[in-house]
Amino acid sequence: MDFEWIKIPYALLTLFIVVNFGMLLGAFIQKIGARVGRRHGIPIWQNYADLIKNFGLRTSITHGVMFYLGPVFRLTGGIGLLLFVPTIYGSEMFSNLSFSGDLILALYFVFFGTLGMALGAGESGHPHAAIGISRGLSQVSMAELPFALAVFAVALQYQTLSVTDIVAAQQGGIANWTLFTNPVAVAAAMLGFLGSMMRPPFDVVIAPQEIPIGPPTEYHSSYLALMQTNRAIFPIAKIVIYMNLFFGGAASWPVFFLKVFLIYMVSVIVGVVFPRFRVEQSIRWFLVWAVPLGVLSIVLV
């Protein structure tokens, strides 16, 4: 127990680093999308200005307790996912609060925030909230299914549910990465990754070109700031899972930044090339292409 308490300050330092990296990376990616559309894009510091402004605002509007717990659950999912898996392999300081069997807990945290936001949206009183809930849960469920199948295949391959042990099994060279020892599982997981990042063509939940409503407009003040903070944390936390399971993990912060950036760019490149799917097109795409690969990866193992 004392050892766990010693690790908490370093876990918080990891959180601080990831928040700032996520804020800067998010602005950079928005700038890439703007440049593709021949626009200038936002300043690199814009996310910080928006966050400070929203945290400084207060509201007297009341929608019910669960409506305001939605952003809290969402942020809890991102922070929990980040803090309960190792960030830097071989480092006692940045192994965070990981433990044996933490892979199962990570799978729960991936879905936890989405369920919280669904409960919050359900109490918003907006007549279109049910549309967003059905879209969100359908999209996330179908995107997480091939990822879960790939995770099960990796756990069977390495005979462990510990993220640290899976990273340890991939040390010794690039050829030992799961990317090369189990490419079918990695392919299934990366197809699911495209959907879980909620970027085009899989941004069917908010659908910015279709309906100017949803959490970014219904939430405000510090509640919106919590969602903005999670928007910086959650994508990086998910990428850390992918990096550890499939790409050999990271033994230093420079390697961490490089791998996270390259994995993130996979969804960015797809997003600026392809237009948005409709809801039924997105679900059908996962059923036809991603889920069979996930099933095949388990069969092969």
The answer to whether 277 and 201 have CB atoms below 8 angstroms apart is yes
Q: How confident is the model over 60-74, as a mean pLDDT? A: 80
Q: How confident is the model over 274-284, as a mean pLDDT? A: 84
pTM value > 0.75: yes
Task: Flag whether pLDDT at 1 surpasses 50.
Answer: no
Give the confidence band of 65 by pLDDT, cuts at 50, 70, 90: confident
**The pLDDT value given to residue 215:** 65
| Cα distance between residue 208 and residue 212, in whole Å | 6
| Cα distance between residue 222 and residue 235, in whole Å | 20
Give residue-wise pLDDT tens across range 166-222.
999 999 889 999 999 999 999 999 999 998 888 888 887 766 555 555 666 677 788
- DSSP secondary structure string, the chain? -HHHHHHHHHHHHHHHHHHHHHHHHHHHHHHHHHHHTT-----TTHHHHHHHHHHT--------HHHHHHHHHHHHHHHHHHHTS-SSTT-STTSTT--TTHHHHHHHHHHHHHHHHHHHHHTS--TTHHHHHHHHHHHHHHHHHHHHHHHHHHHHHHT---HHHHHHHT-SSGGGSHHHHSHHHHHHHHHHHHHHTT-TTS-TTT-TTT-S-SHHHH--HHHHHHHHHHHHHHHHHHHHHHHHHHS---SSHHHHHHHHHHHHHHHHHHHHHSPPPPHHHHHHHIIIIIHHHHHHHHHH-
**The pLDDT value given to residue 160:** 92
Which two structure tokens, joined as six digits, stand for 100?
Answer: 């044996």
Give residue-wise pLDDT tens across range 127-145.
777 777 777 788 888 888 9
Our count of domains for the chain comes to 1
Q: How confident is the model over 266-275, as a mean pLDDT? A: 88
**The pLDDT value given to residue 93:** 84
| Cα distance between residue 294 and residue 188, in whole Å | 5
Task: Flag whether pLDDT at 293 surpasses 90.
Answer: yes
**The pLDDT value given to residue 117:** 76
| Cα distance between residue 213 and residue 206, in whole Å | 8
Task: Flag whether pLDDT at 102 surpasses 60.
Answer: yes
**The pLDDT value given to residue 9:** 86
Give the confidence band of 48 by pLDDT, cuts at 50, 70, 90: very high
Residue 90 backbone class (left: φ over 0; alpha: ψ -120 to 50; beta: rest): left
**CA 118 to centroid of chain Cα atoms:** 17
Give the confidence band of 251 by pLDDT, cuts at 50, 70, 90: very high
**The pLDDT value given to residue 208:** 59
**CA 238 to centroid of chain Cα atoms:** 4
Q: Which domain holds residue 212?
A: 2-300
Three-state DSSP at 282 gives helix
Of 74-88, 153-167, 203-217, minimum mean pLDDT range: 203-217
| Cα distance between residue 269 and residue 32, in whole Å | 9
**The pLDDT value given to residue 211:** 53
Which two structure tokens, joined as six digits, stand for 43?
Answer: 């300043």
| Cα distance between residue 48 and residue 25, in whole Å | 12
Percent of the chain with pLDDT over 70: 94
Q: How confident is the model over 64-70, as a mean pLDDT? A: 81
Give the confidence band of 227 by pLDDT, cuts at 50, 70, 90: confident
What average pLDDT does the chain have? 86
Give the confidence band of 266 by pLDDT, cuts at 50, 70, 90: very high
CB atoms within 10 A of CB 167: 24
